[in-house]
Every structure is written in structure tokens, then in C-alpha cells.
Amino acid sequence: PKSRPAAHSFQPLLKHSPTPLQQRVSFSQGPTQPQNPGSKAGLRLKTRLIVTLLFGGGILGAWWYVWQEKQEQLQQQRMEQLRQVAVGQGNFSLTDHTGRRRTKQDFLGSWVLLYFGFTHCPDICPDELDKMSSVVKILDQDSSLPKVQPVFITVDPERDDVAAMERYIKEFHPRLVGLTGTPEEVKRAGQDYRVYASIGPKDDDGDYIVDHTILIYLINPDGLFLDYYNRMKNEYQIAESVRNHMLNHRTAFTNVLK
Amino acid sequence: MSAPNKEQRRACWAARDDLWKCLDGGQDDAEACRPFQQRFESSCPAQWVRYFVKRRDFLKYKEQLQAAGYEYAEGPAKT
């Protein structure tokens, strides 16, 4: 039988050998866990953490991939819809603000941002043309992108002659081209782009407002209508969209060359 | 009559904004805002004055709808 330890050496004895009471308790609980962090439990914890992170990362990656695929699919659908609408197929022939005759052919090879409006417009047309000018300025800053050609076509040929167009457009972007013509020519251009235009009631001065579709159209260098932007889109969103179309156009073209 | 240029447009819009600010402040008190009304009418073509009046009516109407909520009209009685 073990002799009882002396009182003054009680503490050290506790550390090295459990008292009979502790021994009984520990046996009834089963094998004891080691306390060391560098030991098996610590490793298991680290492994579990790594596995969880990898698994979580994997899930995020998969989700991102699926989202990307979905975005592509949506983009494809939109392109298909636009193709079917087949806007801007015709060949317009109009007079620019310098009096020169311009046809759709003249604009092939350039990216075009097109807006229909009229010079007597109270607020919307100046706003949209300012926005369009900002978009062109933003895109101009990126020297790797081709320069965009902004175009303004009137829906009010009765009043918007060459002189009126020249006066109006010079207050917007320097590259902005204004196009007008005979009522027939203008009507044909408007119809090409499915533009709605309706002359309102004339007042005593003969002044009137033209109600019309408020959209900025994007046309690619092949003369194909690619996209449109309404009043809700700001210049940054439009510039971003145009940039993406340009980059896609480039990759599509290089794929064809291979 | 030629279209207003950039300067004239800006002057018209400023006069319009001043008028609207006055009307908004005084609950559409036309009398109190008469000087603003006069300046607005002299800065803008008549056609634009009419257009902006209609525009304001529309904006006020929209505000009303958004604040008061939309009451669904009762459809034809179901039998």
C-alpha cells in the first residue's frame, strides 16, 4: 500500500501522479485527451479548416462559373432579339451640317452613337446629346479603343435646315455630325430605326414640340445595330457597354481570321 | 424664329427652376410667385412654357401617387 504523501510536498505530487480519487474519476470517464496544440487534435482542427475553406472556395467558384454562363446566355438572347428586330437595315441618304451629302456607307468602318431629336427641344435632346458627348469623351480617354462617331439626326426637317443644325450641334461634342434632309429622306431614316416621331399642335408663333422616341443607338463598323440606351442609362453605363461591344467585336473578328 | 442656343436654354431652365422652387415653397401660391412667373415667361419660348407647365403637373401627380398610394380601380362586377 502506498504511504500517504507529506503535506508540504502535496502540490508536486498532484502533477506527477493523480491522487487515488482523481485516478478513479479519470478511469470512469475513459481515456484522457492530450492537452498539447501541436498534437493530433490540433492537426485535425487545421485539416478541417483547410478542407472547409477549399470546399467553400469550390462552391463559390462553381457559383461564379454558373453566373458567368447565365450572363453569357442572357447576352446571346439579347443579341438574337436585336438581330430579329433588324433595326437600321436601310441605307439613309441625308445632308450633314456643312451641307455635304452623307449616306450610311460613309459611316461604315466606324462605331456610331446615333440620336434622333430636334433643335427646338426644351430639355430632353440637349440632355441626351450632352450625355452622348460625355460617353464619347470617356471612351476617347482609352487610346486602345477606336474613336466613336456621334451622330444627330433631326425629326423636324421643316425647321432644322443645314444652318439650324450647324448652330445647334457646335455646342456639343466637336466630332458630332448633324444630319437633315427633305421630309422624305428624314422620314426614311427614322423608319429604318423604328423611330416614332409626331409633330405636336402649332401655337400662334408657329412653334411646336415634336414627340419622339428617346434612345441612343449603337451601330458597329459593319453598319449593324447592336444596342440601344434609354434615359435611365448614365454616361458611365453607356461607355462601359460600348467598350464591351468593341472588345467582343475584336475577339469575334480575330476568331474569324484564325 | 430660330431655336434657343445653349445660353438661352440655360437661362430658361434657371428661370423655370426658380419658379418651381417658389411654388414648392409656398404651396403653389401663384400670386406670391408672380415675379418668377414673369421672368420664366420672358426667358422661355411660349411653347416651352406650356411644355414645362405640363411637366410640372405630371411630376406633382407622380409625387401624389407615390405618397398617397395607388388605389386600384374596381373592375367589372364579378357575377
CATH number of the domain that A183 lies in?
3.40.30.10
A26-40, A191-205, B25-39, B44-58, range with greatest mean pLDDT: B44-58
A60, A85, A110 - which closes a domain: A85
- Whether B72 is in a domain gets the answer no
**CA–CA distances in Å: residue A215 to residues A59, A75, B53:** 41, 20, 24
For residue A81, is it within any domain?
A: yes
B3 touches A at CB < 8 Å: yes
Establish if A41 belongs to a structural domain. Answer: no
- Does A32 score more than 80 pLDDT? no
Q: How high is the pLDDT of residue B32?
A: 86
Specify if B43 maps to a domain: yes
Q: What is the structure's pLDDT at A251?
A: 66
Structure confidence by residue, pLDDT tens digits, A78-88: 777 777 776 77
Give the count of domains, chain B.
1
Could you tell me if residue A31 is inside a domain?
Answer: no
**Nine-digit cell string for A14:** 498532484
Residue A121 lies in a domain: yes
User: What pLDDT shows up at residue A258?
Assistant: 44
Q: What is the ipTM score, two decimals?
A: 0.81
**Closest among B78, B77, B79, B13 to B45, alpha carbons compared:** B13
| B15 falls within a domain | yes
Report how many domains make up chain A.
Answer: 2
* Shared domain check, A152 and A195: yes
A19: in domain: no
Residues A136 and A181 in one domain: yes
Cβ–Cβ of B3/A167 closer than 8 Å?
Answer: yes
The pairing of strands A197-199 and A216-219 is unpaired
Residues comprising chain A, all counted: 258
Could you tell me if A128 and A202 lie in one domain? yes
Query: A170 and A192 share a domain?
Result: yes
CA separation (Å) from A194 to A90, A173, A220?
11, 25, 18
* 8 Å CB contact between A102 and A95: yes
Q: Which domain holds residue B61?
A: 6-66
Q: Are residues A187 and A70 in the same domain?
A: no
B42 in a structural domain: yes
Which residues of chain B are within 8 Å of residue A123 when distances are taken between CB atoms?
Answer: 9, 13
DSSP state string for A66-121: HHHHHHHHHHHHHHHHHHHHTTT-S--EEEETTS-EEEGGGGTTSEEEEEEE-TT-
Q: Is residue A187 in a domain?
A: yes
Euclidean distance between CA atoms A216 and A83, whole angstroms: 17
Helix H or strand E segment including A220 = none
- Residues A83-102 pLDDT 10s: 777 677 778 999 999 999 99
Predicted pLDDT at B73: 67
Place of cell 507529506: A6
Is the pLDDT confidence value at B74 over 80?
no
Average pLDDT over residues B39-56: 95
Quick check: is B41 in a domain?
yes
Within 10 angstroms of residue A250's Cβ, the number of other Cβ atoms is 13
Helix, strand or coil, per DSSP, at residue A43? helix
Examine residue A9 and state whether it is found in any structural domain, yes or no: no
Contacts of B14 (CB under 8 A, 6+ apart): B43
**Predicted confidence band of residue A187 (pLDDT cuts 50, 70, 90):** very high
> Could you tell me if residue B73 is inside a domain?
no
**Nearest Cβ partner of B45 from A123, A171, A207?**
A207
Range of the domain at A124: 93-247
Is the per-residue pLDDT at A226 higher than 70? yes
Q: Are residues A76 and A120 in the same domain?
A: no
In angstroms, the CA B43 to CA B22 distance is 17
CB A139 within 8 A of CB A242: yes
Domain end: A34, A59, A85, which one? A85
CB contact under 8 A, B9 and A167: no
Q: Does B51 touch chain A (CB under 8 A)?
A: yes
Summary mean pLDDT of chain A: 85
Please enumerate, by residue number, every residue of A annotated as part of a binding site for Cu cation: 121, 125, 212
